Amino acid sequence: MRGQTRTTSSRVVMKMSVSLATALFSSALVAAIEPVRAQSAGSYPARPVRFIVPFAPGGGTDIVARTIGAGLSELWGQQVIADNRPGASTLIGIDLTAKAPPDGHTIVLATTSYGINAAWGKKLPYDALRDLAFITQAASLDFVITTHPSLPARSVKEFIALAKAKPGALNYGSPGSGSGSHMVVEKFQMLTGIKSIHIPYKGSAPALTDLIGGQTQYMIVTILPVAPHLKSGRLRALATTGPRRSRLLRDVPTVVEAGVPDYVTTSWSGVMAPAATPADIRDKIYRDVLKVLAMPPIRQRLEADGGDVVGSTPDEFTALIREEIATWTKVIKAAGLRPE
């Protein structure tokens, strides 16, 4: 009975802590919004804005979208409603946006999958370079080469040597064929000359479960979902994939530092709208997203989850999309992959 009382008390304290944290974040956000709200002009948005998230609730993209959406809601005085439309490697959510009325009341948070889908060469329900307006890259997130502790490799150099000594003996999981986590491994294999076996799963959670259980040997996955397991020792980090060390894993080298000079890749997320959205509305969305990203509570929330705030210009974001499509086209051809 005493143990049950302690458990109940712990749950109450936890709920109070979460509620307090949410209240503090909301208060800080309102305080940050007030100085810039007066600068907003024009009739847009005239009603609630639908912010499409092409993933299930609770994942990294969903967190980024809801965080940005909360800031825009306060800034605009209109609801920005997260609309989760997962499926078909983000094609469902992107296509809904491309075909939505081009009035600025439907936007989407696209990710690395956008360039990968366009690189396959298969017919898409939209034109990846013509049907969406690229407003801004909001954030980026490093991947991390993660192994099961039983694997006798404690560095990228040792990992590559092990994989070359036993071609095809190592296997890795991913959230699915063609996912960002799958393609970054293919890129790594292309640059290092190793070959391992891909085991696709239906989502990150089951893939991580099998990695922790030792059914697979490694994954290259974004930092956020594996960070607790790295800290507990259930998994091991060999290197991160960004241009500099991650603030969440400062003791872990980058892949470049570990000896693979051309391997820099990150998971990005960016705001898009239907291509025919009027230029003045696109510009307002761009300017206001940048205002939101500059607010301390928003920036701190994104950085606490391992993200880096970007806030690129539309031209810079367009250049990134073209570069991504070219990169993944090269990787797909080099690996001999075919769309499923």
Report the 3 state secondary structure along the chain: CHHHHHHHHHHHHHHHHHHHHHHHHHHHHHHHHHHHHCCCCCCCCCCCEEEEECCCCCCHHHHHHHHHHHHHHHHHCCCEEEEECCCHHHHHHHHHHHCCCCCCCEEEEEECHHHHHHHCCCCCCCCCCCCEEEEEEEEEEEEEEEECCCCCCCCHHHHHHHHHHCCCCCEEEECCCCCHHHHHHHHHHHHHCCCCEEEECCCHHHHHHHHHCCCCCEEEEEHHHHHHHHHHCCCEEEEECCCCCCCCCCCCCECCCCCCCCCCCEEEEEEEEECCCCHHHHHHHHHHHHHHHHCHHHHHHHHHCCEEECCCCHHHHHHHHHHHHHHHHHHHHHHCCCCC
Lowest mean pLDDT among 41-45, 228-232, 295-299: 41-45
Which of the residue ranges 11-25, 68-82, 214-228 has the most confident prediction, judged by mean pLDDT?
68-82
* Residue-averaged pLDDT of the chain: 88
pLDDT at 107: 98
Mean pLDDT along residues 79-85: 96
For range 309-334, the mean pLDDT? 96
Q: Each residue of 246-259: pLDDT tens digit? A: 989 999 999 999 99
Q: What percentage of the chain exceeds 70 in pLDDT?
A: 87
pLDDT at 37: 42
Taking residues 283-290, what's their average pLDDT?
98
Please say if the pLDDT value at position 322 is more than 70.
yes
Q: Is the pTM of this model over 0.85?
A: no
Per residue in 293-319, pLDDT tens?
Answer: 999 988 998 888 788 999 999 999 999
Domains identified in the chain and CATH numbers:
42-141+267-331 (3.40.190.150), 142-265 (3.40.190.10)
